[in-house]
């Protein structure tokens, strides 16, 4: 195993140096792809939704490709450290990244120009959308906030605005708070936490009355009734949570989904992209994976590579002005 | 009570199947092994093993992962005692007296009391989790940001007692640690602070790099500079067992450590990391052997090790009762459960009694296994010290190097460790203590976070810190601690001045 | 008036850190008490750090004597030389753009600086142990784990005059085998094992 892993790494590392690229990787890769194990880089720390999703998909993908798909965590800088490593790797399909809303849509606008060392659209070949999920707003059970109307009313009456928690500054959930305050014309006091877990604790304890959270991390708490779900940011009601109304139903034009996909460096051979896209979609179509995604409220993706590429580009363009408006900055 | 026994009986029925026992053993073995390796922590290991657990029943999977978690803590104290290499926050404190004991030829005794104390504390904490988990949850929920801030501040104040020398200098080191903790992304605004444009610094400086550099590597260099000191380290091994005197001194320390650790472990977000040095501070003030602190006092190993293990058991409480992970390892466990289709939370006790009570029973079984695995191994570990130092130190070095690289698969961490090694060497030459610095480094960011959140929620009104009873109590204790520290040193200063 | 040199230097280091930190913190917004900016806590921290440093420094003027170990001429010379070599290497390599990415420039500069420091016999353990560590980082991703181990062990062994070539070779073989078994076979960490350019 060790030696084989060493072989895979070689390509990534050489490319990582940027200076010497000895192997005509693309040419060699096409014949009989995949000939070696693949590396799937998760730009976040272990645990967490991205990591779990990656491991789930990696297992199925490995079985279908007949090669191990090794998951490797390279966290840092709003998911940009790991993504940058992949952008610089040899374009042969053996080094892939879990692209996501942070690494490819928000962080490049959030961080100062010098710290962003890749273009989320041009420096990647986007292969397939893995899953997407809406955000859900939850409220403390004793807060008296049962729907969006009550939330807005409280936001207007309270001095300094209503406190709303999120999993962190610059997260898609934070940006959603900013968006809602703009759309509804109310004052919301953003209270960032270090991750979704501590923020959820604060809502359950009543420290903060409401929170904007991704569905996967909130699903369990909504199901067991430790918090009240007041609105979902999907276009229509979520099949797993038919009782939770959308923002649109409650009169606010807010639709937002966070997503994860699989991408490689720019210039991947078309045959490799097609093969990977087909196999990933086949994995996503299996009953087992669908059931596990449904558990935390994720919708499996089903897009061809070109569509996913357009999707990433659209998301990147869409979030840039929201980031500017939020006043959040990482520089 | 009867119901509790019945439930525990049910739990043991689940845990005592051959499969579950085997996986508990496997988890403990893996955990001990990775705990001994510097840098490789339970988070990385558990996430590597996660796919294996997909195919197992949920109970078996979680039993194995829990075994890795506390196995790693046992293993971590071994390197702290033998090699002055703390792998985690909790074992920083163990190095203080443990490594001194090893140098006095009492490494065996230190390892033995660490294992026995941990087992006892683990047993008590497990019973506590079983008997009153849900009740204790309300304590955790009653802590607001103002209370956490005051708790962290108290922690920082009392961490100055970790100092072996000048209190003022060690407070300086605490604050220096807080300053190092500022590096990285500001949680409240997402802004990068003191990162010099290095993306690897955006998540802050790595704890392991600082700990390895300042403790492990600096110690290697100091030993190389003093050939006579190494022979002390490698020649004297001494008896593995506790003397009667040591046992008598350690017992109350274990009891106090268990209480302190169990209580702090319940608090999500930093409680557990306070446990071991909270206990150290207590021992230093109240134990009978307090005069020996700094020269290898057994209470300074027994108390913190017990507290640490008790805390790691009770930190399951927020997970099991609220579904909220207290730390990264717990977050992975939630992930493992969700993949298995189980939602951790208040309803888990009723919905998954096998899992809940099985896990509790296997916690205790795991602790027993660790004791059985570790006690015979102590002899082997201590023999490690008889390896001539010229062969031992390159081995420590390469294990550190690989460990620190594998944290993020990034060479930047290796270079970062070099910087802290050099800094640690300078500090030790100037008698500046690295332990308070590490505590400040860990608690500082949490303190800032809670301070700013408390002010944000109170709309800038600082009176919350004295209006909330928990917070006010903590601050009161902190004020008393400062007075208690200042008075003797003032008096001493006066005596000295008079003598001259 | 007896000067406590160790404490005097400790105080000076703390003051220096506080001043540098305070200066770097100028770029961060302070905010107000309600919504503290990113610069608020650093400002408090560096003020306190500076104050403590000053107190340690002043007390040290009277609490001595507590002198440092005597340095030889070579030791005194080696320290500024090593620091200078570190910066020169860093900027020269950086300007040449010979190696890009992956902190090769930083690692090389550290390695060279530590080796220069080791010229003085008194700094040999300090310089060579760190040089070995830095060399490990430099070699790991291109030359693979095995050669990086060899490089690290050889350089670090030079720090101890007791080492004989035979013993070092034996140790290299043993440690390479052990590390392969533990980290590659059992733990399966993500790292190249053999040289990458073959």
Tens digit of each residue's pLDDT, chain C (198 residues): 578 888 889 999 999 999 999 999 888 888 887 778 888 899 999 999 999 999 999 988 888 777 777 788 888 888 899 999 999 998 888 888 776 667 888 999 999 999 999 988 889 999 999 999 999 999 998 899 999 999 999 999 998 888 888 889 999 999 999 998 888 887 777 788 888 776
Residue closest to A71 by CA, chosen among B472, B304, B54: B54
Interchain pair B331, A78: CB under 8 A: no
What is the rounded distance in angstroms from the CA atom of residue A41 to the CA atom of residue A51? 9
Q: What is the reported pLDDT for A140?
A: 93
| pLDDT tens readout for residues C114-123 | 999 998 888 9
Instruction: Please report, for chain B, the start and end positions of each structural domain, with discontinuous segments joined by +.
Output: 2-499
Average pLDDT over residues A246-268: 88
Cα–Cα separations (whole angstroms), residue A135 to A231, A247, B185, C115? 9, 10, 24, 55
Interchain pair A1, C102: CB under 8 A: no
| pLDDT tens readout for residues A72-125 | 777 666 677 778 878 877 778 888 888 888 888 887 777 766 667 788 888 888
pLDDT digits (tens), chain B, 500 positions:
677 788 888 888 888 888 888 888 888 888 888 787 776 667 767 766 766 676 678 888 888 888 888 788 888 888 888 888 877 777 888 888 888 888 888 888 898 899 899 999 989 988 888 887 667 667 777 788 888 888 888 888 877 765 666 778 888 998 999 999 999 877 777 677 888 877 778 778 888 888 888 888 888 898 888 876 665 555 555 677 788 888 888 899 999 999 989 888 877 666 667 888 888 888 887 887 778 888 888 998 999 999 988 988 888 877 777 666 666 677 777 777 766 767 666 667 777 788 888 888 888 888 888 888 888 888 777 777 778 888 888 988 998 898 888 877 788 999 999 999 999 999 988 888 888 888 888 888 888 888 988 988 888 888 888 888 889 988 998 888 778 776 665 555 545 544 44
**How many CA within 13 A on the CB side of residue A228?**
16
- β pairing state of A124-139 and A299-300: antiparallel
Q: Which of C148, C156, C188 lies nearest to residue B394, judging by beta carbons? A: C156
- Backbone φ and ψ for A160, nearest 5 degrees, come out as 80, 5
The total number of residues written for chain B in this structure: 500
**Alpha helical stretches, state H, B182-292:** 207-211, 218-225, 227-235, 244-266, 271-286
Interchain pair B411, C102: CB under 8 A: yes
Alpha-carbon torsion angle A177, A178, A182, A187, nearest 10? 70
The interface pTM score, or ipTM, of the predicted complex is 0.93
Cβ contact B64:B340 at 8 Å = no
Interchain pair C188, A16: CB under 8 A: no
Rounded to the nearest angstrom, the minimum Cα separation between A9 and chain C is 6
- As annotated, the residues of chain A forming the CATH 3.40.190.150 domain(s) are 2-133+258-326
Q: ω before A34 within 30° of 0 (cis)?
A: yes
Q: What are the chain B neighbours of C11 within 8 Å (beta carbons)? A: 172
Q: Which of A77, A197, A224 lies nearest to residue B331, judging by beta carbons? A: A197
Interchain pair B457, A56: CB under 8 A: no
Segment 468-487 of chain B within 8 Å of chain C by CB: none
How far is it between the farthest Cα atoms of chain A? 67
Interchain pair C101, A72: CB under 8 A: no
Q: ω before A294 within 30° of 0 (cis)?
A: no
Q: Which of C33, C110, C171 lies nearest to residue B394, judging by beta carbons? A: C171
- As annotated, the residues of chain A forming the CATH 3.40.190.10 domain(s) are 135-232
Q: What are the chain A neighbours of B335 within 8 Å (beta carbons)? A: 47-48, 51-52
Instruction: Please report, for chain C, the start and end positions of each structural domain, with discontinuous segments joined by +.
Output: 5-60, 73-186
What is the rounded distance in angstroms from the CA atom of residue B288 to the CA atom of residue B172? 29
Cβ contact A212:A176 at 8 Å = yes
Geometric angle at alpha carbon B419, from B417 and B424, rounded to 5°: 90
Cα–Cα separations (whole angstroms), residue B54 to A55, A216, B274? 10, 18, 34
Search chain C and give the residue with CA nearest A331.
C28
* CATH architecture designation of domain A2-133+258-326: 3-Layer(aba) Sandwich (3.40)
Q: Which of C125, C160, C179 lies nearest to residue B398, judging by beta carbons? A: C179
Rounded to the nearest angstrom, the minimum Cα separation between A299 and chain C is 31
Res A7 pLDDT > 50:
no
3.40.190.10, 3.40.50.150, 3.40.50.2300, 3.40.50.300: which CATH number matches A135-232? 3.40.190.10
What is the rounded distance in angstroms from the CA atom of residue A73 to the CA atom of residue A41? 6
């Amino acid at each position: 195993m060790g030696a084989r892993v060493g072989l895979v790494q070689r390509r990534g590392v050489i490319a990582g140096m940027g200076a010497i690229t000895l192997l005509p990787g693309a040419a060699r890769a096409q014949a009989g792809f995949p000939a070696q194990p693949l590396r799937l880089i998760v730009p976040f720390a272990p645990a967490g939704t991205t990591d779990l999703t990656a491991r789930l998909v990696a297992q199925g993908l490995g079985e279908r490709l007949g090669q191990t798909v090794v998951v490797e965590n390279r966290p840092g800088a709003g998911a940009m450290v790991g993504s940058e490593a992949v952008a610089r790797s040899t374009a042969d399909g053996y080094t892939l990244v879990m692209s996501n809303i942070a690494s490819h849509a928000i962080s490049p606008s959030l961080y100062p120009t010098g710290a962003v060392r890749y273009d989320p659209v041009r420096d990647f070949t986007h292969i397939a959308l893995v899953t997407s999920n809406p955000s859900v707003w939850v409220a403390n059970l004793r807060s008296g906030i049962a729907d969006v109307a009550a939330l807005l009313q409280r936001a207007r009456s309270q001095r300094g605005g209503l406190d709303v928690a999120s999993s962190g500054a610059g997260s898609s959930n934070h940006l959603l708070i900013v968006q809602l305050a703009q759309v509804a014309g109310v004052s919301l006091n953003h209270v960032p936490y270090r991750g979704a877990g501590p923020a959820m604790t604060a809502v359950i304890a009543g420290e903060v009355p409401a929170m904007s959270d991704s569905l996967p991390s909130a699903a369990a708490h909504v199901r067991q009734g430790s918090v009240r779900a007041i609105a979902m940011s999907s276009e229509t009601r979520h099949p797993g949570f038919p009782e939770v109304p959308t923002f649109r139903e409650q009169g606010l034009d807010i639709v937002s989904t966070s997503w994860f996909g699989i991408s490689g460096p720019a210039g991947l051979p078309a045959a490799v992209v097609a093969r990977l896209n087909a196999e990933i979609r086949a994995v996503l179509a299996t009953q087992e994976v669908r059931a596990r995604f449904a558990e935390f409220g994720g919708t499996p993706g089903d897009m061809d590579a070109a569509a996913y590429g357009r999707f990433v580009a659209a998301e990147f363009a869409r979030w840039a002005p929201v980031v500017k408006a939020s006043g959040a900055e990482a520089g | 009570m009867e119901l509790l026994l019945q439930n525990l009986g049910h739990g043991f029925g689940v845990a005592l199947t051959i499969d579950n026992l085997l996986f508990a053993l496997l988890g403990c073995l893996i955990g001990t092994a990775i705990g001994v390796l510097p840098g490789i922590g339970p988070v990385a290991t558990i996430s590597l093993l996660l796919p294996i657990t997909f195919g197992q029943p949920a109970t078996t999977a979680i039993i194995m992962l829990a075994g890795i978690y506390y196995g790693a803590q046992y293993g971590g104290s071994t390197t702290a005692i033998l090699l002055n290499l703390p792998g985690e926050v909790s074992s920083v404190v163990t190095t203080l007296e443990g490594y001194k004991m090893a140098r006095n030829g009492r490494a065996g005794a230190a390892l033995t009391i660490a294992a026995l104390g941990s087992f006892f504390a683990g047993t008590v904490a497990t019973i506590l989790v079983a008997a009153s988990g849900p009740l204790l949850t309300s304590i955790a929920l009653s802590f607001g940001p103002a209370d956490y801030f005051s708790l962290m501040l108290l922690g920082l104040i009392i961490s100055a007692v970790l100092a072996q020398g000048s209190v003022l200098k060690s407070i300086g080191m605490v604050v220096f640690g807080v300053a190092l903790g500022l590096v990285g992304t500001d949680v409240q605004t997402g802004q990068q602070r003191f990162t010099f444009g290095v993306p690897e610094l955006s998540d802050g400086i790595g704890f392991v790099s600082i700990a390895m550099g300042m403790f492990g590597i600096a110690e290697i260099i100091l030993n190389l500079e003093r050939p006579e000191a190494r022979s002390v380290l490698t020649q004297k091994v001494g008896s593995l067992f506790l003397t009667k005197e040591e046992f008598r001194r350690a017992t109350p320390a274990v009891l106090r450590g268990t209480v302190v650790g169990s209580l702090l472990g319940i608090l999500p977000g930093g409680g557990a990391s306070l446990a071991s040095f909270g206990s150290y501070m207590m021992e230093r003030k109240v134990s009978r052997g307090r005069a020996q602190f700094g020269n290898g006092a057994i209470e300074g190993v027994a108390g913190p090790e017990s507290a640490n293990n008790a805390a790691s058991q009770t930190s399951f409480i927020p997970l099991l009762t609220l579904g909220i992970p207290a730390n990264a390892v717990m977050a992975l466990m939630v992930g493992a459960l969700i993949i298995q289709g189980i939602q951790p939370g208040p309803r888990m006790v009723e919905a998954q009694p096998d899992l809940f009570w099985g896990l509790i029973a296997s916690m205790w079984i795991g602790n027993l296994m660790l004791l059985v695995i570790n006690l015979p191994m102590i002899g082997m570990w201590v023999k490690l010290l008889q390896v001539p130092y010229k062969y031992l130190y390159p081995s420590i070095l390469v294990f550190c190097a690989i460990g620190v690289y594998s944290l993020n698969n990034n060479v930047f961490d290796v270079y970062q460790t070099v910087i802290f090694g050099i800094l640690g060497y300078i500090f030790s030459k100037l008698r500046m203590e690295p332990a308070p610095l590490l505590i400040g480094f860990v608690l500082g960011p949490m303190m800032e976070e809670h301070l700013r959140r408390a002010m944000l929620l109170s709309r800038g009104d600082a009176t919350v810190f004295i209006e909330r009873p928990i917070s006010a109590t903590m601050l009161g204790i902190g004020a008393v601690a400062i007075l208690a520290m200042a008075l003797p040193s003032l008096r001493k200063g006066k005596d000295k001045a008079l003598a001259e | 008036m007896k000067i406590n040199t160790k404490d005097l230097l400790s105080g000076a280091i703390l003051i220096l850190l506080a001043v540098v930190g305070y200066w770097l913190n100028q770029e961060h917004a302070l905010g107000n008490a309600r919504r503290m900016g990113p610069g608020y806590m650093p400002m408090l921290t560096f003020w306190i750090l500076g104050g403590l440093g000053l107190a340690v420094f002043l007390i040290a003027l009277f609490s001595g004597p507590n002198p440092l170990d005597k340095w030889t001429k070579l030791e005194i010379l080696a320290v500024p030389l090593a620091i200078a070599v570190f910066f020169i290497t860093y900027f020269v390599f950086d300007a040449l753009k010979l190696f890009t990415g992956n902190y090769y420039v930083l690692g090389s500069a550290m390695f060279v600086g530590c080796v220069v420091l080791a010229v003085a016999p008194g700094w040999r353990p300090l310089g060579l142990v760190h040089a070995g560590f830095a060399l490990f980082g430099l070699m790991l991703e291109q030359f693979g784990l095995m050669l990086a181990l060899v490089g690290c062990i050889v350089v670090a062994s030079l720090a101890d005059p007791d080492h004989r070539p035979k013993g070092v070779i034996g140790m290299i073989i043993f440690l390479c085998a052990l590390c392969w078994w533990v980290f590659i076979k059992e733990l399966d960490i993500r790292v190249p094992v053999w040289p990458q350019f073959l």
